[in-house]
Amino acid sequence: MRFEVIPAEVTEHEAHDADPREMVKHNAALKAEWVAARHPDATVIGADTTVFIGRTVLNKPRDPAEARTMLKLRAGRTHTVFTWLAIRRPSDGLKLDQGVASEVTFKAFDDAALELYLSRVHTLDKAGGYAIQEQGELIIAGFTGSLTNIVGLPLEEMKQLLTRAGLTR
């Protein structure tokens, strides 16, 4: 089976006041449908992920100060990592969707622990300004749900969707 990565040329909805689950659902479908329209015989996977606490969406921080603020906001608290998976195959009308939520609880860390974390991890390219797989023991108390969702893509759920699409054994 041949795979190809094709970035969708779309403008994603990323408003800080949007419902995070609806925002991610919209973006994943938008990306999948844009690529599928240009490759109607392909099975296309679109995905989008966000981090939020309450209704506050925490995308990738713009600068180190914003990363610091995002991390402090969650000290001693639990937040959600939410991914929407969208599979499209126009040739036979296949349309599969699934949302995946994981919860991450941060330790009640002090400024020294925060500064140590920031000195060791490049936070600007990560939703929510952190990576569970990079020095996570400094700030993370625990998680529930899919670890692969928190890291980047929920592999277990993706395999289930691909099986439903007839692409795995």
Residue 59 lies in a domain: yes
- Using CA of residue 81, residue 26, residue 18, residue 68, what is the dihedral sign? positive
Place of tokens 């969650």: 74
Q: Does 48 fall in a domain? A: yes
Question: Catalytic: which of 19, 48, 110, 125?
Answer: 48
Per-residue pLDDT of 100-112, as tens digits, reads: 999 999 999 999 9
Which among 82, 62, 75, 67 is positioned nearest to 128, based on CA atoms? 67
Domain containing 113: what range? 20-157
* pTM recorded for the entire structure: 0.90
Q: Is 63 part of the annotated catalytic residue set?
A: no
pLDDT of residue 16: 66
Average pLDDT over residues 63-87: 96
**Rg of the chain (C-alpha set):** 17
Does the residue 111 lie in any domain? yes
Render pLDDT for 129-153 as a digit per residue (tens, 0 to 9): 999 999 989 999 999 999 999 998 9
Domain membership flag for residue 9:
no
pLDDT averaged over the chain?
A: 92
- Between CA 160 and CA 164 the distance in angstroms is 6
Residue 83's φ and ψ, nearest 5 degrees, are: -125, 140
In a domain, 110, yes or no: yes
- If one compares 113 and 167, the residue with the highest pLDDT of the two is 113
pLDDT at 17 over 80: no
User: How many independent structural domains does the chain possess?
Assistant: 1
Two tokens at 126?
């990560």
If one compares 24 and 59, the residue with the highest pLDDT of the two is 24
Q: Which of 100, 87, 110 is nearest to 168 (CA)?
A: 87
Instruction: Please report whether residue 169 resides in a domain.
Output: no
At residue 169 the predicted structure's pLDDT band, cuts being 50, 70 and 90, is low
Q: What is the 3-state secondary structure (H, E, C) of 53-86?
A: ECCEECCCCCCHHHHHHHHHHCCCCEEEEEEEEE
